[in-house]
Amino acid sequence: MRFFRKILSKIILLNIIFLAAMSGFRLVFFLYYGQGMDFSGFGADIAEAFYMGVRYDAAVLGYVNVLVNLSFCVLMFIGRKEYFDKFFKAARLYYTIIMGFVFVFLYIDFEFYSYFQSHLNILAFGIVDDDTKALLSTFHENYNFFIVGLKFAICFIVPYLIARFSLSRHCGLDPQSPTTQCGRTTAEIAGQARNDEAKSLGNNGAQGEGASQSAIKKAVLFLTLGLLNFIIIRGTFTMFPLGLPNAEISANPFINTVAINAFYVFEDAIVVRGQGSKIDYIEAAGYKDNIRQAFADYLDIDISEIPQVHPEDSLRIALPYNKIIEDDKPNVIFIVMESFGADLIKYNSTEFNILGELKKHFDEDFLFMNFLSAHHVTIGSLETAIANVARRPDAPYLAQSKYLYNTYDFWGALPYKAKNYETLFFYGGNSGWRGLDSLMSIAGFNKILGEGTMPKDAPRNQWGIFDGYLFDFIFDEFVKDDKRKFIYVMTMTNHPPFSLPKDYKPMSLTPPKDLAQKIIDEEMAAKRFETYQYACEMLGRFITKVKNSKYGDNTIIAVTGDHNFWGLFGYSAQDILDRLSVPLYLYIPPKLRPQNINDAVFGSHIDILPTLYNLSLSNTQVFAMGQNLLSKKAEKNIAFHDSGAIMDKNYALLYNFKDKSASYYVWDKNNKRKAVESDKTQGHNRLLKHFLSQTAIADYLIKNTGK
């Protein structure tokens, strides 16, 4: 048995080294992405995060070791010790390959976090769902493939060296002479081992008894090894196995992120992707067989006011006759800018001129900064803003679901189409991206104009036409006739690979000290700041042209972002609003402008179209889940992001729809963009009821009202 224990001890040593290497990955992750964060008072939480990380990593190694342990036990029962030479060779190869892929996965997860501020999740499937060719080309421009390949190679070299060091010897095996051991052949060693075992049995027929005892010891070792492997994989002795909910160990979300192993997050993403639209959000939100109550809770009215047969009719709004609108027939331009996060706007200055010409329009018009995107990926926000329906957490995108070809009353362009507007959708890239052309056609657009319809000589990158040339094309289409137009736009330049037209000369972009100290990668930051500035400058020039045109007095412009500006710095638990916010800019011609506009109200993407409807349509009926942000009711409006961030002017809530856990916050009295952890209050209950009811309603609308 001593022979087998020595072999087992070497396998254990090997796994301890692997576990240390995985913890090394975690330490680098913490030091790199935690730059600039204040961890005062979180020392115990950080230690707990690394301890939890070891448990996660050990569980991964537990799965890796199942085959090794099983093979070891089989050979142990066979009892032919000479077979262990081949076992060690196979084990070295196995660990090199499997752990190589483990380290590659951890490296990919590390890079993924720089873009999405999250471990590998369902967004990773975008390489399949997205424009794969453009993505790979983007990777090529942003990353040196030789360096990446070298890093991948290191991911395999490291486990090879670890395995060679740990498994090259057993009982003194000479790595230069694999058939010898301590100067003797394996057969001699085996013979000596049998003689030693026979001597230990004693005389008078005790060999049978010794063999029986040996078998019992082997069985005990087998059961012990199996039990330990099971416990390591399970990660705990308690009732519930180690899983993602167990990583909630700190009020600081980044520390929780440090604890988690990427394999667990990705496993969850696979499950979510497999479930797709199979999730019954109505039941999960607590409204099974009671959808009318969801409408009542969402609208904050009595259930008796909700129609029995078609509860969705409670979301229809009758817009009154408005003579100014009828006479003026305003155009509407609704622009969604790529990665147009609100956080950078506050740093704008002469030295850090991030806004360019857009700054003067922000100063002249209305800018809503307490505003959240619906989702953290372009397609999710783009379709939510035009669908007029809230996004459901982790739900498949409509453009890539079985509901794509349904006809719905809620599509945002339909009221304009009914009023004889020409409805146009412009996208600087391939309009077939993620089924966008089909989606916008069904959503009520007369024309879908992608890069294929634009001038062939317009400068572009892998994703499509640069914003300046896209806006020129849009303007030409806009002014070519006097038809009333509803225009929906998605730009794409402020996106990896962060390339710009050769004729664009960036203005000063020296970041202020408080921004500079948060930056993780200065080289990448410089590229991102330039593309952000370019996008803002081109947008500013476009707005200037529209205002100065003959249609300037009867054109409403709304601009927002699809999601925040990711990948340069992390956010603390206090930065919920900055992490998820995008601006909403409104240009409203004076004669159409309501009085007493409060641009400090909270809102999100589903509030944009209801606001535009009230500004531009008269004597008609519209469908809207959101709120008119220019109304008095907007003072109490609730903003949401489908990740579970819900907030109003007093309270904020982070809610995990999957495990029903929540964190509660109020706004700092001295800085209204900073959240302070709080006990649960009635105000938080209101936010949660709103979020759950809107999720149930969205699911009902998508699954039950299509034709």
Q: What is the pLDDT of residues 615-638, one digit of tens each?
A: 999 999 999 999 999 999 999 999
Measured between alpha carbons, how far is 378 from 115 in angstroms, rounded to an integer? 13
* pLDDT computed for residue 545 by the predictor: 98
270 — pLDDT class (breaks 50, 70, 90): confident
Give CA 649 to chain center in angstroms. Answer: 26
Starting at the edge strand found earlier in the chain, the sheet holding 485-490 runs: 366-368, 584-587, 555-561, 331-337, 485-490, 422-427, 447-449
Give a yes or no: residue 285 inside a domain.
no
3-state secondary structure of 64: helix
Give a yes or no: residue 588 inside a domain.
yes
Whether residue 498 contacts residue 530, with contact meaning beta carbons closer than 8 Å, is answered with yes
429 — pLDDT class (breaks 50, 70, 90): confident
pLDDT at residue 205 is higher than 60: no
pLDDT at residue 295 is higher than 70: yes
* pLDDT computed for residue 180 by the predictor: 40
- 440 vs 125: which has the higher pLDDT: 440
Cα dihedral 682/686/691/694 (nearest 10): 160
Q: What is the pLDDT of residues 97-139, one digit of tens each?
A: 999 999 999 998 888 887 767 787 666 676 665 566 666 666 6
Number of domains in the chain: 2
Judged by average pLDDT, the poorest of 309-318, 455-464, 646-655 is: 455-464
Measured between alpha carbons, how far is 101 from 117 in angstroms, rounded to an integer? 23
Percentage above 70 pLDDT, the chain:
84
Cis peptide before 497 (omega within 30 of 0): yes
Do 216 and 341 have their domain in common? no
Q: 564: which DSSP letter?
A: -
Percentage above 90 pLDDT, the chain:
55
Q: What is the pLDDT of residues 494-542, one digit of tens each?
A: 988 889 999 999 999 999 999 998 888 888 899 999 999 999 999 999 9
3-state secondary structure of 424: strand
The Cβ-side half-sphere exposure at 607, using a 13 Å CA radius, reads 29
Do 398 and 250 have their domain in common? no
| DSSP string computed for 462-495 | TTEE-HHHHHHHHHHHHHSS---EEEEEE--SSS
Whether residue 165 contacts residue 173, with contact meaning beta carbons closer than 8 Å, is answered with no
Give a yes or no: residue 690 inside a domain.
no
Q: What is the pLDDT of residues 472-486, one digit of tens each?
A: 999 999 999 999 999
Q: Which helix (H) or strand (E) holds 366?
A: strand 366-368
pLDDT at residue 195 is higher than 70: no
Give a yes or no: residue 362 inside a domain.
yes
**Domain final residue, candidates 239, 256, 274:** 274
Do 258 and 390 have their domain in common? no
Max Cα distance, the chain (Å) = 116
3-state helix, strand, coil in the chain (%, to 5): 55, 10, 35
* pTM (global) more than 0.85: no
Whether residue 635 contacts residue 626, with contact meaning beta carbons closer than 8 Å, is answered with no
* pLDDT computed for residue 101 by the predictor: 93
Paired tokens of 44: 């115990």
Give a yes or no: residue 149 inside a domain.
yes
Q: 568: which DSSP letter?
A: S
Q: Which helix (H) or strand (E) holds 535?
A: helix 522-548
Q: Which helix (H) or strand (E) holds 652?
A: strand 651-655
Do 223 and 345 have their domain in common? no
Can you tell me the mean pLDDT for 327-343? 95
- Backbone φ and ψ for 489, nearest 5 degrees, come out as -130, 140
Find which of 7-11, 601-605, 667-671 is predicted with most confidence, using mean pLDDT. 601-605
Do 86 and 209 have their domain in common? yes
* pLDDT computed for residue 78 by the predictor: 75
Q: What is the pLDDT of residues 534-572, one digit of tens each?
A: 999 999 999 999 999 999 999 999 999 999 987 778 788
Q: What is the pLDDT of residues 34-53, one digit of tens each?
A: 887 888 888 998 998 899 88
Do 582 and 453 have their domain in common? yes
Burial class (CB in 10 A: 0-12, 13-18, 19+), 369: buried
Do 246 and 362 have their domain in common? no
- 399 vs 702: which has the higher pLDDT: 702
306 — pLDDT class (breaks 50, 70, 90): very high
Judged by average pLDDT, the poorest of 54-63, 240-249, 443-452 is: 240-249
Whether residue 579 contacts residue 348, with contact meaning beta carbons closer than 8 Å, is answered with no
Measured between alpha carbons, how far is 189 from 517 in angstroms, rounded to an integer? 63
Do 510 and 640 have their domain in common? yes
Question: Taking all residues of the chain, what is their mean pLDDT, rounded to a whole number?
Answer: 86
pLDDT at residue 229 is higher than 60: yes
Whether residue 152 contacts residue 104, with contact meaning beta carbons closer than 8 Å, is answered with yes
Q: Which helix (H) or strand (E) holds 41?
A: none
Q: At what angle do helices 84-116 and 2-33 cross, to 10 degrees?
A: 10
End-to-end CA distance of the chain: 72
| DSSP string computed for 654-697 | EE-TTT--EEEEEE-SS-TTSEEE----HHHHHHHHHHHHHHHH
- 605 vs 259: which has the higher pLDDT: 605
3-state secondary structure of 505: coil
Find which of 36-45, 230-239, 266-275, 376-385 is predicted with most confidence, using mean pLDDT. 376-385
Do 252 and 327 have their domain in common? no
* pLDDT computed for residue 129 by the predictor: 59
Do 442 and 574 have their domain in common? yes
3-state secondary structure of 121: coil
Whether residue 50 contacts residue 23, with contact meaning beta carbons closer than 8 Å, is answered with yes
pLDDT at residue 5 is higher than 90: no
Place of tokens 């018009």: 365
Give a yes or no: residue 258 inside a domain.
yes
Give a yes or no: residue 299 inside a domain.
no
**Domain final residue, candidates 254, 274, 294:** 274
Q: What is the pLDDT of residues 361-409, one digit of tens each?
A: 999 999 999 999 999 989 999 999 999 999 999 888 888 777 877 889 9
Q: Provide the CATH number for the domain around residue 639.
A: 3.40.720.10
**Domain final residue, candidates 655, 670, 686:** 655
3-state secondary structure of 251: coil
Judged by average pLDDT, the poorest of 199-213, 336-350, 400-414, 509-523 is: 199-213
- In terms of residue numbers, what domain contains 496? 317-655
Paired tokens of 411: 């599509």
Whether residue 348 contacts residue 355, with contact meaning beta carbons closer than 8 Å, is answered with yes
Whether residue 610 contacts residue 627, with contact meaning beta carbons closer than 8 Å, is answered with yes
Give a yes or no: residue 42 inside a domain.
no
Do 71 and 156 have their domain in common? yes
* pLDDT computed for residue 584 by the predictor: 98
* pLDDT computed for residue 34 by the predictor: 86
Whether residue 263 contacts residue 62, with contact meaning beta carbons closer than 8 Å, is answered with no
* pLDDT computed for residue 118 by the predictor: 74
Do 237 and 359 have their domain in common? no
Place of tokens 């506050």: 346
